[in-house]
A and B are shown apart, each in its own frame.
Chain A
Amino acid sequence: MILSVEKLEKQFGSLKAIDGVSFGIREREIVSLIGSNGAGKTTLVNLISGYLKPTAGRIFFDGKDITYASPFKRVKLGIGRSFQIVHLFEEAAVLENVRTPLFARYRRIKSILWPADSYVDITREAIGILKLFNLYDKKDSPAKELSEGEKKILDVAMAFALKPRLLLLDEPTSGVATHDKFNVMNTIVSAIRKEGISALIIEHDMDIVSNYSDNVLVIHEGRIMAEGKPEDIMQNKEVRETILGIQ
């Protein structure tokens, strides 16, 4: 297991947002996390990425206990994440958005006297990532000028540049036009598969969930309601009634 979550709990005042959640993600596995609004999906991702500290329970990454590690430490260990609302360096060019994490990864971010452009290897790697994510043609455009779908892809590409072993993707297709959703997911998932990265994806669209996931986790009122292959989850009566709203 690359990620192992054991009896995780998170309480906000009297509300138990996460209530005894346990699951695991294997190497190279893509797991979708589904659930209705307020079920605790983003809270769970925030707990794994270190933005929230749990009230109880443990989180293990590659066998190491990271329950109370800082987000910065988790990034260094190999946990990358993207956000539901994209977080880009909006004023900077697309290339710069990918090059900045690479400078951090190769510990060149403190270099003060040599121009960023003189790091040819890093620029080459950034261009490689942009090609992988089909963003090469936009490399000189400011990130703020990209379409919503391209912004989502760039958001993932930035996390990808840190060479993570686990990617946490919070609704990578939210805000993307319906006809563009599969393009976005094809690009992201083919890059993830190519590099053999594990991923936990929060997603609402069941077509996307069944097309791109190896496994699905269903969360409801802070608890895991069901876990299994996409086709099994789609047949699960409780999930169909409670989450999907199908009789």
Chain B
Amino acid sequence: MGQLRWRGSILSLRFFVYTSTLILLLILPFLLSPFDLILLEYGLALALVGLGFNLLLRYTGLLSFGHGAYFATGAYTVAMVGRYIPELYSLEMLLPLSVLFSFIVSFVFGFICVRHTRIFFAILTLSLSMLVFALLFKLYHITGGSDGLYIPIPSVFGMVFNRRPDFLSGFFYYFLVFVFVVGFLFMKAVVNSPFGKALQAIRDNEIRAELVGIRVKRYRLYAFVISGIFTGVGGTLWSFVNGHVTPEVAHWFFSGEIVYMVLLGGFANFEGPIIGAIVFTFLKLYAMSFTEYWMFIIGITLIILVLLLPTGIAGGIYRLITEIRKRKTLSGI
């Protein structure tokens, strides 16, 4: 009974935090400077990537070092359509197209990768993303090579925006929040569904999962594709904020940043990757503006994180709340 009440209070606290965060997100454009608002937009786009990435890491037990490939797919879909099929260059067309292309790429790559686990899976995902990087880098006449491609401001149902700052601080911000909330709710439903439980069963014991009637490789592929689509959509939204895309987003270094931000936020908690993505975006940008040795700061943060907060920021917060609640219960408050 006490455990039920405890779970209930955690759930109601979660609901309170979610609602307050949503309200805060809606009023933030009036509180933040344009620069910080753009940073938040980068963070929200990366939060979608983090949610997708964590479906594989936390819930399926697969560590990918190649999520840059799907991020690049989403970002380059926008860039290529802008360059080669400008008549389709509108937000309502670009988003479904990025879902389609992310689906195709993640399905093909996933089909190859899910036959393996652990280090073999990680290396395969890394290798395939470097293949994408090499193609984007070498096919200069199509992809713009190392110069990358410009991302124009998209139209939205015939509405045209002339200045990027106006677009980013107005319509696009709320659109981004909308996509983030839909993605968040969808992923929340997935991890709590029987399908999500099947993924966790595969993570815990794949021999047993097969024996209870779960087709392990097929379910890993489903998770891989959902994860890839989330990352692709994140890449698409990120590209509008950035205004330019280069092959670096397909490089393993960028995939490593995705791993880093999820660890920073805490992969053991559903909300961890979101916190990690936003904190990482601000940390990186402010570190870069502070010193040219910004990677030193990032490295130090990672060491502190591993030593003091192995469960990430979200894990630390959750532990703190649990501790406070336990003390309150013990003292009879």
Give chain A's interface residues, CB within 8 Å of chain B. 71-72, 75-76, 80-81, 87-92, 96, 99-101, 103-105, 108-117, 119, 140, 158-159, 161-162
Residue B27 at the A interface, CB < 8 A?
no
Tell whether A112 pairs with B200 under 8 Å between CB atoms, given A72-B213, A101-B213, A158-B208. Answer: no
For B208, the closest partner residue in chain A by CB is: A87
- Interface contact tally, CB-CB below 8 A: 91
User: A137 vs B190: C-alpha distance in the bound complex, in angstroms?
Assistant: 28
Instruction: Identify the interface centre among A76, A81, A109: most chain B CB within 10 Å of its CB.
Output: A109
Interface string of B1-36 (1 = CB under 8 A from A): 001000000000000000000000000000000000
* Segment touching A, from B67-75, B155-163, B191-199, B243-251: B191-199
Interface string of B172-211 (1 = CB under 8 A from A): 0000000000000000011011111110110111011111
Chain A residues whose CB sits within 8 angstroms of the CB of B205 once the complex forms: 87-90
Chain B min CB distance to A194 (Å): 21
Question: Which residues of B (206-245) have their CB < 8 Å from a CB of A?
Answer: 207-215
Q: Which of A89, A114, A162 contacts B200 (CB 8 A)?
A: A89
Tell whether A104 pairs with B208 under 8 Å between CB atoms, given A89-B200, A96-B197, A116-B194. Answer: no
User: A110 vs B203: C-alpha distance in the bound complex, in angstroms?
Assistant: 16
CB <8 Å contact, B210 and A71: yes
Give chain B's interface residues, CB within 8 Å of chain A. 3, 189-190, 192-198, 200-201, 203-205, 207-215
Tell whether A115 pairs with B211 under 8 Å between CB atoms, given A96-B197, A109-B195, A109-B198. Answer: no
CB <8 Å contact, A71 and B211: yes
CB <8 Å contact, B194 and A103: yes
User: A96 vs B203: C-alpha distance in the bound complex, in angstroms?
Assistant: 14
For B7, the closest partner residue in chain A by CB is: A140
CB <8 Å contact, A113 and B193: yes
Chain B min CB distance to A122 (Å): 8
Chain B residues whose CB sits within 8 angstroms of the CB of A76 once the complex forms: 213
User: A193 vs B291: C-alpha distance in the bound complex, in angstroms?
Assistant: 73
Chain B residues whose CB sits within 8 angstroms of the CB of A101 once the complex forms: 212-213
CB <8 Å contact, B208 and A75: no
Chain B residues whose CB sits within 8 angstroms of the CB of A87 once the complex forms: 205, 207-208, 211
CB <8 Å contact, A114 and B207: no
User: A229 vs B320: C-alpha distance in the bound complex, in angstroms?
Assistant: 61
Chain B residues whose CB sits within 8 angstroms of the CB of A92 once the complex forms: 197, 200-201, 204
Can you list 11 A-B pairs with a CB-CB distance of less than 8 A? Answer: A71-B211, A72-B213, A90-B205, A92-B201, A99-B197, A101-B213, A111-B195, A115-B189, A116-B196, A140-B3, A158-B212
Chain A residues whose CB sits within 8 angstroms of the CB of B207 once the complex forms: 87
Tell whether A110 pairs with B194 under 8 Å between CB atoms, given A75-B213, A87-B208. Answer: yes
Chain A residues whose CB sits within 8 angstroms of the CB of B213 once the complex forms: 72, 75-76, 101, 104-105, 109, 162
Instruction: Identify the interface centre among B190, B193, B214: most chain A CB within 10 Å of its CB.
Output: B193
User: A87 vs B214: C-alpha distance in the bound complex, in angstroms?
Assistant: 14
For A115, the closest partner residue in chain B by CB is: B192
Chain A residues whose CB sits within 8 angstroms of the CB of B3 once the complex forms: 140
Chain B min CB distance to A78 (Å): 11
Chain B residues whose CB sits within 8 angstroms of the CB of A90 once the complex forms: 204-205
Chain A residues whose CB sits within 8 angstroms of the CB of B214 once the complex forms: 100, 104, 109
Chain A residues whose CB sits within 8 angstroms of the CB of B194 once the complex forms: 100, 103, 108-111, 114, 116, 119
Chain B min CB distance to A102 (Å): 9
For A106, the closest partner residue in chain B by CB is: B194
User: A109 vs B214: C-alpha distance in the bound complex, in angstroms?
Assistant: 8
CB <8 Å contact, A112 and B189: yes
CB <8 Å contact, B210 and A89: no
